C-alpha cells in the first residue's frame, strides 16, 4: 500500500484491489474507490487542465460538485463519456480514463501559454477581443474559439447502451440520505406511508460517511447507519442510491436519474445504463445538505489545494491521506477538525492558518495536543509548486494591514470558507430565498410546492441538529398527509458543530491586478475578473455572471456562486441581497442525453405511420418520403432510373393508360347526425344543402380570419352523413378545429365527428383505362358517364370487398378512389395490380401525384398557400358559398385588407428560356431596380418532368390575376430568369380527359 | 409537469393528456356579418396577457376530447379551478379566497 493509503480507515475494501488506467498508465485502487480517491491514494493530484488558461488542476472536492477533476471514461467502442467527475466515477477492473484539455500531455501542455497571456483573457474577453476587423472572423477568431471552446471531446460513435424511463408515485420523496433525510424517512415510514429515499452516492449516509467519530443512540455512526438502513428497508422505505434528483417540476414531480451500470466491471445483460424516473410525490423533503466554499486567494487552484471537508472525506470514507504535510487555511471551525483527523491518521499538519482573530478555546487545546502550529489573524497570499503545491505563503493581518509573509513547505493545502446550503432543487420550485447576515448566505424561505427543506440545506450544522430537524420535518409532512406522528429523539455524542465567517477574497499584500485568485475553477473566473466586470458597468449579478461566465460551467456555480456574490457586492458597495443570486436551473448535475431520450431513439424517436400498402411498396423498390408522421411512397424507380426518370415514366404511364396510387394517408372524418349538413355549411366555405346523396364536392376550409386552412373532397353518403377527406398532414388539426366549433360555438347542433383515417385503406386509380379496369370488379353501380359521373360516390362492393367508391381526380385523368376497410387494403391493391397488368398498370408515388396535380393547377395547401392566402387569392372564389348567411371565414374574407387591391394571387409561371424555376425563389417586376429590390411574390411549385413538354410553375404574385401575360423576373445567384404569368391550368383546360 | 382536473371525466390527470386552447370566454358573434371591422379584429386577434389568474381553455385531447375552461395563475402556474365549457365565469375573489 502507498504511503497515502491509511489502513483501518475508510469504507473501501483494500483486500480487493482494482486496477484501472489513467492516461494510459495503470493504477491500483481499492474496491469502493472513486477515480479521484484511487489516484490520490497513489499520490496523484494532477488530473486535468483548466478550461481557459490550461492551468494544472487536481480535485478540489470529493463529490458531485467537483469543478476540476473532469475526465473521459471509456468502456470499449461507443462507451466513451467526456467530463465525468473523477470524484464520482467508481473504479472497476479495466476502466480506462483520461485527462482532458491538454496537448500533448497533462504534464506539459502547450495551451498553458494562455496562462501567461492572462491579460488577454480577462472578464468579457470574448466580447472585447473578437471585435474587429470583420475579415478576421472566419479565418482567425472563429477557428480559435471553436478550437478553445468546450471541455473534453464528444464521442463520435453510436451509444450502444439503452436507457429506461419509468413513473413512480409515493407519499413522501426524500432527496438526500444524510442524517436529516434518514430521520425524515423514519418519521414518515413508521406511519405506514410509502416513502422513497434517494441519494446520488453509492450508499446512504451522507455526512455520516465522513464523520465516523459521531455516536448516535450509543452506537458508532457507521453501526447506527447500517442498522438504520436495514430498519428503514424493513419499514418498506425504497432506498435508491446512485440516484440523483435532477429536477423539481410542477406539482411535486421530481425527475430522478438512476445510474445502474457505470460502476460495474461486467455489464449485466438486459440492464439499462440509466433509468429516468418521473416521481409524483405527495410531499417532498429536500435534505441535500450543504457544500463547502473555497477561499479566494492567489494560487488557490494549484493541485493539492482542496476543500478541508473533502480531505476529511477522502480520509474517513476512502482511507486516503491527500497529503502528509498539509497546511489548513480557514475561516470556519470545520476545517480544524479536518486538521485533527489528518493528524490523527499520521499526517504532519504544518499549520492551521485562520483568518479570524480568535477561535473557541477547545480547538486551540486540541491543536496544541497534536503539536499543530496555529496562526490566527493570518491570511494566505500565494502558493507555489509547478504541478503540485509545495509552498504556501501566509501573512499576518493586523488592523486591516497585511504584514510580510512567511512561506510554509507543504504537500497539500486544505481550505474552508464555510458552507453554503444546497438550495438547487428548492430554487427549481420557484422557492423564495432570504439572506441571512449571520451565516452570510441565502436560506430557503417559501415554496409554492408541497415541500419542506431540512437539515444543513436550511443552515443547520451538525449531525444532531440535522437528525432533530429531519425528524421534525418528517412529522410535518406526515401531518400534511393527514396522519399524526410521534416525535423521535436521537442521542448524539461527539458531534462537531462550529461557526465561521464568510469572506470575499482573502486580504493580500499583492497587487490585486496580478492575483490569480480563482472563484469559478471550471470557467477560470478570478476575483479580479468580477471586480473588472463591475468597473466596466455590470450592476446586476445576472450581468456580472454572463460577462465573466462565473457560475456558468457544468457545475452551475455550486462552489462559486456565493463567493462571486460576496465579491461583486463588495465591488458594488451593496449588500448581497440587493445584488441578488442567479437562478439554479435543472439538471442538478450534468445528465446524459440518453437518460432524457429513454426509449425514444432510432426508429422509436418518432412514430412512423405506415399504410397497409406500405410493405408492398417497399417490396417493389419504392423510395419513401416522410409526410407528417407518415412514411409515403415517393416514387418507384426501376433499375438504373434516377428520380426524374422514374417520375417522368410514372407521369406518362398514368396519362397514357393507368396509374395506381396509395392515398390511404388522406385524413378522413365521418360527419354524422341530423344537423350534419348545417354543420358542413357552417364549417366549409362551400354550400352543401343542395349536394345530393351519392355526390361529392371539393371542400375548402378557412379559419375565421379568412385564410385557407385545409381542403379535400367530401362525399355525401346519406342525408345525415358526410365522408370528409383532409390533407395528409392536416387531419388532426381539422378534426380539432371541427370539435372546437361544434363543442363550444354550436353545442346546439346534433352532430358526431369521428376520425376514420386509419379505418379505411384508399387506393386511387387514374388514367384513361381506370374505368375499364374497375368496372368488372365493381358490384352495385355501373361505371358509366351516366350512372356514375365525375364527382360521384357510392357504397358498393369492389373485388368482393365492402367499399366506398369515389369518382374523383387529382390528376386530370379519369379517376377513382376506392376505400375499403383498412385490413383489406393490401388485398384490394394486389387484386387491382394483377387485373391491371393488361393495361400496363404503373404504381406512382407522391412526386408524380404532385406533378400531375400541378399541371392541372390543383393547389396543395401548405405548399401553394402559406396561411395568408384566401380562396380568392388562390383563384377559387367559385368554392365560396357567398349566399350562405355565415360560415367560418365569411366575415374574415370581408376584412379591409383581404378585399384590398394588390394581394398576392396564385398564377402560373412559364420561364422564357425554358429553364426550371426554383421553388421558393423570389419574384420582382423590375430586375434593373437597385438592391434591395422590392419582392412581389415567390415560386410555390415547380416541375420539369411532367407531360406538358416544358417546365411549369405555380407562384404567388402581387395582383397576379390582373397580370396574365406579363413578364416577371426571378433573380438567382448567377442570372435573372424572365417568366411569363399564365393561368394555373397547364394541361387539358377543357377537362375533356375526365370523361369516360 | 402540471396535473389538470378534467371537469367532464372528473379526474385529475397529467398535463400530457391535454392541449392548451387559448383564452376563454371569447364567444364568436352570432351574426358575424353585422360585426364592425374593429370588433371582428378584436375577436380574432386581441387577447389579454394576464399576469395572475387567467381564464383559458384546455382540451382533454387524449382523453374524453372535450374542451373546458380553467382559471390558471400565470405566475405560479397553479390551476385555481376548471369548469365545463358554457358555464359562467367563476368569481375570482372567491377562488383566490379559497386558495388562501
Ligand atoms: Zn376528460
Partners of residue B19 in chain A, C-beta under 8 Å? 736
Residue A350: burial class (beta carbons within 10 Å; 0-12, 13-18, 19+): buried
What's the half-sphere exposure (Cβ side, CA atoms, 13 Å) at A349? 29
What pLDDT is stored for residue A811 in this prediction? 97
The rounded distance, in Å, linking the Cα atoms of A681 and A363 is 89
- What stretches of A769-868 show up as alpha helix (H) in DSSP? 770-774, 825-835, 846-855
Which has the closest alpha carbon to A940: A872, A860, A825?
A860
Q: Using H for helix, E for strand and C for coil, what is the string for A17-40?
A: EEEEEECCEEEEEEECCEHHHHHH
Q: A470 phi and psi, to 5 degrees?
A: -60, -45
CB A188 within 8 A of CB A229: no
Q: Is B20 helix (H, G, I), strand (E, B) or coil?
A: strand
Which has the closest alpha carbon to A425: A183, A176, A611?
A176
CB distance A745–B57 less than 8 Å? no
CB A93 within 8 A of CB A19: yes
The rounded distance, in Å, linking the Cα atoms of A312 and A318 is 9
- Beta-carbon contacts of residue A763 (< 8 Å; ≥ 6 apart): A613, A660, A661, A662, A663, A664, A817, A818, A820, A825, A828, A829, A832
Q: How far is CA A602 from CA A158, A162, A273, A855, in A?
A: 10, 11, 17, 38
Q: Is A186 helix (H, G, I), strand (E, B) or coil?
A: helix
- Beta-carbon contacts of residue A477 (< 8 Å; ≥ 6 apart): A172, A184, A187, A188, A282, A283, A285, A452
Sign of CA dihedral A795, A799, A800, A801: negative
Task: Judge if A207 and A247 occupy the same domain.
Answer: yes
The rounded distance, in Å, linking the Cα atoms of A558 and A424 is 9
The rounded distance, in Å, linking the Cα atoms of A525 and A516 is 9
CB distance A251–B1 less than 8 Å? yes
CB A716 within 8 A of CB A671: no
Dig out the grid coordinates for A461 from the structure: 450544522
Dig out the grid coordinates for A848 from the structure: 408524380
Predicted confidence (pLDDT) per residue in A446-481, tens digit: 999 999 999 999 999 999 999 999 999 999 999 999
CB A946 within 8 A of CB A952: yes
Burial A26-60 (b: 16+ CB within 10 A, else e): ebbbbbbbbbbbbbbbbbbbbbbbbbbbbbbbbbb
Domain assignment present for A612: no
Mutate to test the interface with A, among B6, B16, B21, B40 (most CBs of A within 10 A): B40
Domain end position, chosen among A383, A401, A417: A417
Partners of residue B58 in chain A, C-beta under 8 Å? none
% helix, strand, coil for chain B, step of 5 = 25, 35, 45
Dig out the grid coordinates for A141 from the structure: 477568431
Q: Look at the block and give the residue holding cell 409515403.
A: A632
How many independent structural domains does chain A possess?
Answer: 6
Domain end position, chosen among A538, A553, A581: A581
The rounded distance, in Å, linking the Cα atoms of A925 and A943 is 22
Predicted confidence (pLDDT) per residue in B21-69, tens digit: 999 999 999 999 999 999 999 999 999 999 999 999 999 999 999 999 9
Task: Provide Rg for chain A, Cα atoms.
Answer: 38
Give the Å distance between the CA of B81 and the centre of ligand 1: 15
Task: Judge if A400 and A444 occupy the same domain.
Answer: no
Which residues of chain A are modeled with pLDDT < 50?
none
Task: Judge if A262 and A369 occupy the same domain.
Answer: no
Is ipTM > 0.90 here? Answer: yes
The rounded distance, in Å, linking the Cα atoms of A710 and A869 is 11
CA B54 from centre of chain: 7
Cβ neighbours, 10 Å, residue A969:
20
The rounded distance, in Å, linking the Cα atoms of A82 and A63 is 17
Q: How far is CA A773 from CA A4, A325, A769, A788, in A?
A: 89, 96, 6, 15
Task: Judge if A367 and A433 occupy the same domain.
Answer: no
Which has the closest alpha carbon to A966: A986, A982, A955, A954?
A982
A133: preceding bond cis by omega (within 30 degrees): yes
Number of H helices and E strands in chain A, helices first, is 26, 52
The rounded distance, in Å, linking the Cα atoms of B89 and B87 is 7
A104: preceding bond cis by omega (within 30 degrees): yes
Q: Using H for helix, E for strand and C for coil, what is the string for A286-318?
A: ECCCEEECCCECECCCCCCEEEHHHHHHHHHHH
Mutate to test the interface with B, among A168, A251, A738 (most CBs of B within 10 A): A251
Domain that holds residue A5: 1-158
Residues 899-918 (A) with a CB less than 8 A from some CB of B: none
The rounded distance, in Å, linking the Cα atoms of A685 and A702 is 7
Q: Is B63 helix (H, G, I), strand (E, B) or coil?
A: coil
Q: Is B87 helix (H, G, I), strand (E, B) or coil?
A: coil
The rounded distance, in Å, linking the Cα atoms of A246 and A244 is 6
Domain end position, chosen among A756, A773, A802: A756
Task: Judge if A179 and A262 occupy the same domain.
Answer: yes
Number of H helices and E strands in chain B, helices first, is 2, 6
Q: A881 phi and psi, to 5 degrees?
A: -80, 85
Cβ neighbours, 10 Å, residue A10:
25
What pLDDT is stored for residue B99 in this prediction? 58
Question: To the nearest whole number, what is the mean pLDDT of chain B?
Answer: 93
The rounded distance, in Å, linking the Cα atoms of A240 and A175 is 10
What's the half-sphere exposure (Cβ side, CA atoms, 13 Å) at A87? 25
The rounded distance, in Å, linking the Cα atoms of A591 and A246 is 8
What CATH number did the domain enclosing A692 receive? 3.30.70.1400
What CATH number did the domain enclosing A31 receive? 3.10.20.440
What's the half-sphere exposure (Cβ side, CA atoms, 13 Å) at A689? 7
Q: How far is CA A269 from CA A258, A259, A272, A825, in A?
A: 17, 15, 9, 41
* Strand-pair partners of A933: none
Secondary structure letter of residue A138 according to DSSP: I
Domain assignment present for A780: no
Secondary structure letter of residue A321 according to DSSP: -
**Environment of ion ligand 1 (residues, CB < 5 A):** B 6, 8-9, 60, 63-64
Dig out the grid coordinates for B58 from the structure: 384546455
Task: Judge if A877 and A903 occupy the same domain.
Answer: yes
Dig out the grid coordinates for A318 from the structure: 476512502
Closest Cβ–Cβ partner in B21, B37, B65 for A895: B37
Task: Judge if A397 and A426 occupy the same domain.
Answer: no
Partners of residue A743 in chain B, C-beta under 8 Å? 66-67, 85
Give the Å distance between the CA of B67 and the centre of ligand 1: 8
Domain assignment present for A343: yes
The rounded distance, in Å, linking the Cα atoms of A266 and A258 is 18
pTM of the model: 0.89
What CATH number did the domain enclosing A530 receive? 1.10.10.1100
Task: Judge if A339 and A441 occupy the same domain.
Answer: no
The rounded distance, in Å, linking the Cα atoms of A474 and A855 is 74
- Domain B20-27+49-100: CATH class, spelled out: alpha beta
Task: Judge if A186 and A274 occupy the same domain.
Answer: yes
- For chain B, give every domain's residue range: 20-27+49-100
What pLDDT is stored for residue A149 in this prediction? 53
Is residue A733 less than 8 Å (CB to CB) from chain B? no
Element (DSSP H or E) covering residue A572: helix A561-572
Task: Provide Rg for chain B, Cα atoms.
Answer: 15
The rounded distance, in Å, linking the Cα atoms of A255 and A209 is 25
Task: Judge if A487 and A570 occupy the same domain.
Answer: no
What pLDDT is stored for residue A140 in this prediction? 63
Mutate to test the interface with B, among A600, A751, A891 (most CBs of B within 10 A): A891
The rounded distance, in Å, linking the Cα atoms of A693 and A849 is 28
Q: A805 phi and psi, to 5 degrees?
A: -105, 125
Task: Judge if A449 and A396 occupy the same domain.
Answer: no
Q: How many CB pairs under 8 A join A and B?
A: 58
Give the Å distance between the CA of A394 and the centre of ligand 1: 70
Task: Judge if A393 and A520 occupy the same domain.
Answer: no
Domain assignment present for A802: no
Closest Cβ–Cβ partner in A249, A253, A743 for B67: A743
What CATH number did the domain enclosing A308 receive? 3.50.50.60
Amino acid at each position: 500500500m502507498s504511503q497515502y493509503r491509511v489502513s483501518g480507515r475508510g469504507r473501501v475494501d483494500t483486500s480487493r484491489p482494482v486496477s484501472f488506467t489513467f492516461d494510459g498508465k495503470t493504477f491500483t485502487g481499492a474496491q469502493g474507490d472513486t477515480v479521484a480517491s484511487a489516484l490520490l491514494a497513489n499520490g496523484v493530484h494532477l488530473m486535468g487542465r483548466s478550461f481557459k488558461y490550461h492551468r494544472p488542476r487536481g480535485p478540489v472536492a470529493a463529490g458531485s460538485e467537483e469543478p476540476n477533476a473532469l475526465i473521459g471514461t471509456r468502456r470499449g467502442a461507443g462507451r466513451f463519456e467526456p467530463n465525468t467527475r473523477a470524484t464520482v466515477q467508481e473504479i472497476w477492473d479495466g476502466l480506462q480514463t483520461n485527462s482532458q484539455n491538454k496537448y500533448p500531455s497533462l504534464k506539459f501542455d502547450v495551451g498553458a501559454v494562455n496562462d501567461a497571456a492572462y491579460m488577454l483573457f480577462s472578464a468579457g474577453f470574448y466580447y472585447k477581443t473578437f471585435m474587429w476587423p470583420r475579415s478576421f472572423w472566419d479565418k482567425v477568431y472563429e477557428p480559435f474559439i471553436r478550437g478553445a471552446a468546450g471541455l473534453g471531446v464528444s464521442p463520435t460513435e453510436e451509444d450502444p447502451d439503452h436507457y429506461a424511463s419509468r413513473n413512480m408515485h409515493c407519499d413522501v420523496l426524500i432527496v438526500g440520505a444524510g442524517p436529516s433525510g434518514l430521520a425524515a424517512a423514519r418519521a414518515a415510514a413508521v406511519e405506514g406511508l410509502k416513502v422513497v429515499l434517494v441519494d446520488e452516492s453509492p450508499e446512504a449516509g451522507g455526512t455520516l460517511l465522513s464523520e465516523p467519530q459521531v455516536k448516535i443512540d450509543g452506537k458508532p455512526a457507521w453501526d447506527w447507519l447500517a442498522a438504520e438502513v436495514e430498519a428503514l428497508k424493513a419499514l418498506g422505505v425504497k432506498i435508491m442510491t446512485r440516484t440523483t434528483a435532477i429536477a423539481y417540476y410542477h406539482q411535486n414531480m421530481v425527475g430522478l436519474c438512476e445510474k445502474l451500470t457505470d460502476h460495474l466491471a461486467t455489464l449485466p445483460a438486459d440492464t439499462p445504463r440509466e433509468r429516468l424516473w418521473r416521481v409524483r410525490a405527495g410531499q417532498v423533503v429536500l435534505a441535500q445538505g450543504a457544500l463547502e466554499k473555497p477561499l479566494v486567494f492567489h494560487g488557490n487552484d494549484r493541485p493539492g489545494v482542496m476543500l478541508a471537508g473533502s480531505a476529511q472525506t477522502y480520509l474517513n470514507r476512502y482511507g486516503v491521506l491527500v497529503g502528509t504535510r498539509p497546511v489548513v487555511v480557514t475561516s470556519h471551525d470545520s476545517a480544524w477538525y479536518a486538521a485533527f483527523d489528518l493528524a490523527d491518521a499520521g499526517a504532519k499538519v504544518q499549520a492551521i492558518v485562520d483568518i479570524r482573530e480568535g477561535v473557541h478555546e477547545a480547538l486551540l487545546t486540541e491543536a496544541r495536543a497534536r503539536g499543530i502550529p496555529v496562526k490566527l489573524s493570518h491570511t494566505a497570499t500565494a502558493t507555489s509548486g509547478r504541478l503540485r503545491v509545495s509552498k504556501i505563503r501566509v501573512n499576518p493581518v493586523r488592523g486591516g494591514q497585511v504584514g510580510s509573509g512567511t512561506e510554509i513547505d507543504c504537500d497539500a493545502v486544505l481550505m474552508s470558507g464555510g458552507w453554503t446550503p444546497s438550495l438547487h432543487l428548492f430554487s427549481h420550485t420557484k422557492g423564495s430565498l432570504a439572506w441571512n447576515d449571520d451565516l452570510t448566505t441565502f436560506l430557503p424561505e417559501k415554496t409554492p410546492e408541497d415541500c419542506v427543506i431540512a437539515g444543513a440545506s436550511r443552515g443547520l450544522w451538525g449531525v444532531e441538529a440535522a437528525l432533530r430537524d429531519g425528524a421534525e420535518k418528517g412529522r410535518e409532512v406526515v401531518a400534511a398527509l393527514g396522519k399524526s406522528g410521534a416525535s423521535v429523539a436521537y442521542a448524539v455524542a461527539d458531534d462537531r458543530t462550529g461557526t465561521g465567517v464568510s469572506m470575499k477574497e482573502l486580504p493580500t499584500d499583492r497587487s490585486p491586478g496580478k492575483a490569480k485568485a480563482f472563484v469559478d475553477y471550471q470557467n477560470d473566473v478570478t476575483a479580479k475578473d468580477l471586480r473588472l466586470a463591475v468597473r466596466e458597468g455590470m450592476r446586476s449579478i445576472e450581468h456580472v455572471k454572463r460577462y465573466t461566465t462565473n457560475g456558468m460551467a457544468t457545475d452551475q456555480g455550486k462552489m462559486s456562486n456565493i463567493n462571486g456574490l460576496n465579491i461583486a457586492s463588495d465591488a458594488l458597495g451593496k449588500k448581497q441581497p440587493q445584488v441578488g443570486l442567479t437562478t439554479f436551473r435543472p439538471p442538478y448535475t450534468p445528465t446524459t442525453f440518453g437518460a432524457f431520450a429513454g426509449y425514444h431513439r432510432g426508429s422509436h424517436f418518432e412514430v412512423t405511420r405506415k399504410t397497409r400498402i406500405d410493405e408492398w411498396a417497399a417490396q417493389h423498390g419504392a423510395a419513401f418520403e416522410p409526410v407528417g408522421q407518415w412514411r409515403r411512397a415517393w416514387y418507384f424507380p426501376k433499375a438504373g432510373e434516377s428520380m426524374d426518370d422514374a417520375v417522368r415514366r410514372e407521369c406518362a404511364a398514368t396519362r397514357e393508360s393507368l396509374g395506381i396510387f396509395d392515398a390511404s394517408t388522406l385524413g378522413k372524418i365521418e360527419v354524422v347526425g341530423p344537423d350534419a349538413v348545417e354543420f358542413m355549411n357552417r364549417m366549409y366555405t362551400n354550400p352543401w344543402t343542395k349536394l345530393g346523396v351519392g355526390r361529392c364536392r371539393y371542400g375548402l376550409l378557412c379559419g375565421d380570419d379568412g385564410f385557407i386552412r385545409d381542403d379535400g373532397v367530401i362525399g355525401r353518403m346519406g342525408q345525415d352523413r358526410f365522408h370528409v377527406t383532409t390533407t395528409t398532414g392536416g387531419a388532426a388539426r381539422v378534426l380539432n378545429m371541427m370539435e372546437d366549433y361544434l363543442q363550444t360555438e354550436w353545442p346546439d347542433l346534433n352532430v358526431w365527428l369521428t376520425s376514420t383515417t386509419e379505418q379505411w385503406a384508399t387506393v386511387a386509380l387514374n388514367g384513361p383505362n381506370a374505368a375499364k379496369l374497375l368496372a368488372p370488379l365493381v358490384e352495385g353501380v355501373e361505371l358509366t358517364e351516366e350512372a356514375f359521373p365525375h364527382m360521384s360516390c357510392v357504397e358498393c362492393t369492389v373485388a368482393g370487398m365492402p367499399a366506398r367508391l369515389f369518382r374523383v381526380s387529382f390528376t386530370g385523368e379519369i379517376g377513382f378512389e376506392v376505400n375499403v376497410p383498412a385490413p383489406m387494403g393490401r388485398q384490394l391493391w394486389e387484386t387491382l395490380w394483377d387485373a391491371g397488368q393488361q393495361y400496363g398498370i404503373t404504381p406512382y408515388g407522391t412526386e408524380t401525384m404532385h406533378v400531375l396535380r400541378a399541371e392541372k393547377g390543383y393547389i396543395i395547401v401548405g405548399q401553394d398557400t402559406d396561411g395568408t392566402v384566401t380562396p380568392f387569392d388562390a383563384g377559387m372564389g367559385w368554392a365560396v358559398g357567398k349566399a350562405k348567411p355565415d360560415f367560418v371565414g365569411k366575415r374574415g374574407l370581408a376584412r379591409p385588407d383581404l378585399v384590398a387591391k394588390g394581394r398576392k394571387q396564385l398564377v402560373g409561371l412559364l420561364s422564357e428560356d425554358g429553364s426550371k424555376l426554383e421553388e421558393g425563389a423570389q419574384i420582382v417586376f423590375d430586375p434593373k431596380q437597385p438592391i434591395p429590390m422590392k419582392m412581389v411574390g415567390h415560386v410555390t411549385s415547380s416541375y420539369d418532368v411532367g407531360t406538358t413538354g416544358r417546365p411549369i410553375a405555380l407562384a404567388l404574385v402581387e395582383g397576379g390575376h390582373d397580370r396574365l401575360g406579363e413578364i416577371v423576373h426571378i433573380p438567382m445567384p448567377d442570372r435573372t430568369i424572365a417568366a411569363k404569368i399564365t393561368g394555373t391550368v397547364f394541361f387539358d383546360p377543357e377537362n375533356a380527359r375526365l370523361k369516360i | 409537469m402540471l396535473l389538470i382536473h378534467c371537469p367532464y371525466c372528473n379526474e385529475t390527470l397529467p398535463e400530457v393528456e391535454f392541449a392548451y386552447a387559448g383564452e376563454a370566454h371569447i364567444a364568436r358573434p352570432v351574426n358575424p356579418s353585422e360585426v364592425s371591422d374593429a370588433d371582428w379584429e378584436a375577436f380574432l386577434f386581441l387577447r389579454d396577457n394576464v399576469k395572475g389568474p387567467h381564464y383559458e381553455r384546455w382540451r382533454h385531447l387524449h382523453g374524453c376530447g372535450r374542451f373546458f375552461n380553467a382559471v390558471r395563475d400565470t405566475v405560479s402556474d397553479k390551476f385555481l379551478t376548471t369548469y365545463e365549457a358554457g358555464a359562467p365565469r367563476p368569481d375570482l375573489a372567491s377562488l383566490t379566497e379559497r386558495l388562501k
